[in-house]
Structure 1
Amino acid sequence: MNAGFDRIGLGRFAGIGERLARGATIASVSFGRILLWLLAALIVSSCVWMLMPLSKGNTAQGELVDPGSASAEPAPSANPAAAAAPSEAQAPVVAELDRLRISSQTWRRGGLGSKALVTFTLRNDNDYAIRDVEIVCAFARRDGSHLTERSRVLADTVSMKSRKTFARVPVGFVNVNADQAKCSLVTARRA
């Protein structure tokens, strides 16, 4: 099938278009290969960087120490009770867990079956409100063998002498073989 461009003098433009298309294809393939090599070099260099041993520095335990804070020691206070007060004020007040319990719990899968969504009711029998409740959920197979544990901190407040239901709390990714879940309380703070 002949378009007949040579009769009206457009044959040379058709040849130029074919050459340009061929050159653009070669350039795009070359550019793709360059990007592929750069990606491979990036992956190899990041793997080498991750496998390099960490520098320990001058500390015995390998912790980083600020040079200014290592030499400066706090001046002794004339009142020892005043010196102890800031450390007590900064320490979090932990609630008693014996009067705090999970009264009911269920779980289901979400996120295409890879995430665990836990629903539970938390009872607070203390004389004060609590907040920042940390729970840990242990997942097991049908036969009871342990698979994994996931923890979560809930920032909500539970009033004194009350209960609160937390519905479909995302705990984290779980194994596809997980069939059972058991959640328990780890810590809580006074509100």
Structure 2
Amino acid sequence: MGTRLDRIRLERFAGAGERLARAVTAASVSFGRGLLWLLAAIIVGCGIWMLLPLSKGNTTEPVKSDFKSDLAAVEPATPGDAAAAVPPTAEAQAAAELDHLRISSQTWRRGGLGSKALVTFTLRNDNDYAVRDVEIVCAFVRRDGTPLTVRSRVLTDTVGMKSRKTFARIPVGYVNVNADQAKCSLVAARRA
């Protein structure tokens, strides 16, 4: 009789162990599936977040103006400024240098994993003298024309008189990922 009771107790113990093992296996499978669903939800959420346009609260307000007119505008100096000591002939000379200096063709592409702008353009100098330290400003806009980023760059190379020079893949700086078009303009140049 003692042996029969031992067998019943052992069978109950073995049955409880099997039930426990099944419960642990079922729990681990359902936990693993839950983690996979959570991971899938996070990936889908991030994808949707990347596709949505940025709200006005997260970005700075874009400047609505004509970039070319802003670049060409010169603020008048007040009499107390040190800039008033500069003779107006220097400003007139700088404007005259830019009159015969222009960008004849330009393209741009992305570099640096899509975050940097590389600009290729041809600078044409119709002056009777060489120019150097040419400063350009590139304005990047969205597809709908909304301004995004403005970057400037000074090129220390010299462009000979009555000649043209092509600058290939000049890194202008970091640009917004939504930038679709670029327009570069000349700001300043010095006589070489």
Output the TM-score relative to the length of structure 1. 0.52
Q: C-alpha separation between the residues in 2 aligned to 1:98 and 1:189? A: 13
1:146 aligns with: 147
Runs (5+) with no aligned partner, structure 2:
1-84
Deviation sequence 1:34-82 (CA, Å, 0-9, x none): xxxxxxxxxxxxxxxxxxxxxxxxxxxxxxxxxxxxxxxxxxxxxxxxx
1:104 maps onto 2:142 in alignment: no
Q: C-alpha separation between the residues in 2 aligned to 1:109 and 1:138? A: 14
Mapping of residues 72-83 of structure 1, within 5 Å: none
- Could you say what secondary structure the match of 1:97 adopts? helix
Deviation sequence 1:6-45 (CA, Å, 0-9, x none): xxxxxxxxxxxxxxxxxxxxxxxxxxxxxxxxxxxxxxxx
1:128 aligns with: 129
1:170 maps onto 2:176 in alignment: no
2:118 aligns with: 117
2:190 aligns with: 189
Q: C-alpha separation between the residues in 2 aligned to 1:138 and 1:98? A: 20
The letter of the residue matching 2:187 is V
- Could you say what secondary structure the match of 1:132 adopts? strand
- State the identity %: 85
The letter of the residue matching 1:172 is G
The letter of the residue matching 1:98 is D
Deviation sequence 1:160-180 (CA, Å, 0-9, x none): 000000000000000000000
- Could you say what secondary structure the match of 1:103 adopts? strand
Deviation sequence 1:136-163 (CA, Å, 0-9, x none): 0000001111001000000000000000
Mapping of residues 35-114 of structure 1, within 5 Å: 94=94, 96-114=97-115
1:67 aligns with: none
State the aligned residue count. 104
The letter of the residue matching 1:155 is T
Residue 96 of structure 1, CA deviation: 1.4
Q: Which runs of 4+ in 1 moved over 3 A?
A: 91-95
- Could you say what secondary structure the match of 1:96 adopts? helix
Q: C-alpha separation between the residues in 1 aligned to 2:99 and 2:146? A: 28
The letter of the residue matching 2:181 is Q
Output the TM-score relative to the length of structure 2. 0.51
The letter of the residue matching 2:159 is V
Q: C-alpha separation between the residues in 1 aligned to 2:139 and 2:179? A: 10
Runs (5+) with no aligned partner, structure 1:
1-83
Residue 112 of structure 1, CA deviation: 0.4
- Could you say what secondary structure the match of 2:99 adopts? helix
- Could you say what secondary structure the match of 1:123 adopts? strand
1:156 aligns with: 157
